[in-house]
Amino acid sequence: MILGEGYSGGYIRRAAERAGWAVTGTSRTPKPDKGIHAFDDPAVTDMVADADAVLSSVPPGKDGDPMLARFRESLAPREGWTGYLSSTGVYGDADGAWVDESAPTGSGRREARSDADAAWRALGDVHIFRLPGIYGPGRSAFERLADGKAQRIDAPGQVFSRVHVEDIAAAVLAALNDPAPGIYNISDDQPAPNHEVIACAARLMDREPPPLIPLEDAQLSPMARGFYAENRRVANGKMKRDLKVRLRYPDYERGLAAIWRETGT
């Protein structure tokens, strides 16, 4: 069962179904005929308790994690597999250094994410997947370039980690077959400045990339500007070693090229 079947959850569902799982889920836009229920459907509590595997991809809100608030009593006594899609934002700023799963958490600007990560870990036997920036078909630099909203921001020394959504699904599927819970960074091999990613997408579109502009001159929302307050490289060695995941898209060049070949967007 996938709690919060959004962008990543949809890819995870399809990967799980291809592997033979029967999948149900919850969403703000329920589709009962497709096994996607409303969060407040009374039947969902029993579904959570009875599922062989439960994965939450719902981010925390101002009052904490809504899935734990609603389903903690159903989740805590379960003997089945439990997973949570967290964020590498829990690590905070590392001044560009590599961070693995042993790095301290709780110092970042997104306190709610760190609190939710800790709350899921406190349940006990849970697989925690810490994700950096997620991209894939319909959610990449191509869309920002097409609508004229892409900005190539010059922030010397700043890098971001990212992961293709198909590799997230592959990691979760690998973990479903691994009875040992743990914390896993799910990221690709190539942290890079965002302006390089946009330039790569522009080349694939055969258009001129936007000009580089200093960070202080960029038109950014407070949330977007906050991303530039933290700088880290996310290490994925544990994912490869323990889950035996082989990334389909180990770098953004291959990921963007595949999206462009498949969709032209």
Q: Which domains does the chain have, with CATH numbers?
A: 2-263 (3.40.50.720)
What does the block give as tokens for 75? 């989740």
Closest CA to 37 of 106, 28, 46, 90: 28
Global confidence as pTM? 0.96
Token duo for residue 159: 């890098």
Looking at the DSSP bridge assignments, the partners of residue 212 are 152
Taking the C-alpha atoms of residue 150 and residue 161, their distance in angstroms, rounded to an integer, is: 18
- What Rg do the C-alpha atoms of the chain give, in angstroms? 19
Confidence of residue 26 (pLDDT cuts 50, 70, 90): very high
Q: Is the pLDDT of residue 265 over 80?
A: no
Q: Distance between CA atoms of 129 and 84, rounded to whole angstroms?
A: 6
**Distance between CA atoms of residues 4 and 38, nearest Å:** 10
Rounded Cα distance between 108 and 90, Å, is: 6
Return the half-sphere exposure (C-beta side, CA atoms, 13 A cut-off) of residue 132. Answer: 29
pLDDT number for residue 168: 98
Question: How does pLDDT run across 126-140, given as a tens digit for each residue?
Answer: 999 999 999 999 999
Per-residue pLDDT band at 243 (split at 50, 70, 90):
very high
Closest C-alpha among 230, 259, 242, 15 to residue 129: 242
Section 110-132 average pLDDT: 94
Residues 79, 184: Cα–Cα separation, whole Å? 21
Q: For residues 72 and 84, what is the distance between their CA atoms, to the nearest angstrom?
A: 13
Q: Give residue 108's pLDDT.
A: 78
Q: Select from 65, 66, 75 the least CA-distant residue to 116.
A: 65
Q: CA-CA distance, 126 to 81, in Å (whole number)?
A: 7
* 167 DSSP assignment: H
pLDDT for 226 equals: 85
pLDDT of 175 reads: 96
State mean pLDDT over 141-157: 94
CA–CA–CA angle 235, 237, 241 (5° rounding) = 165
DSSP 192: B
Q: Which residue has better confidence, 33 or 67?
A: 67
**How high does pLDDT run on average in the chain?**
94
> Quick count: other Cβ atoms within 10 Å of Cβ 11?
22
- Average pLDDT value for residue range 57-72: 93
Residue type, 14: R
Nearest to 201 by CA among 146, 163, 250: 146
User: Confidence class of residue 107 from pLDDT cuts 50, 70 and 90?
Assistant: confident
Nearest to 122 by CA among 59, 72, 168: 72
Where is average pLDDT lowest: 16-20, 166-170, 212-216, 217-221? Answer: 217-221
What is the rounded CA–CA span in Å between residue 249 and residue 260? 13
Does the pLDDT of residue 119 top 80, yes or no? yes
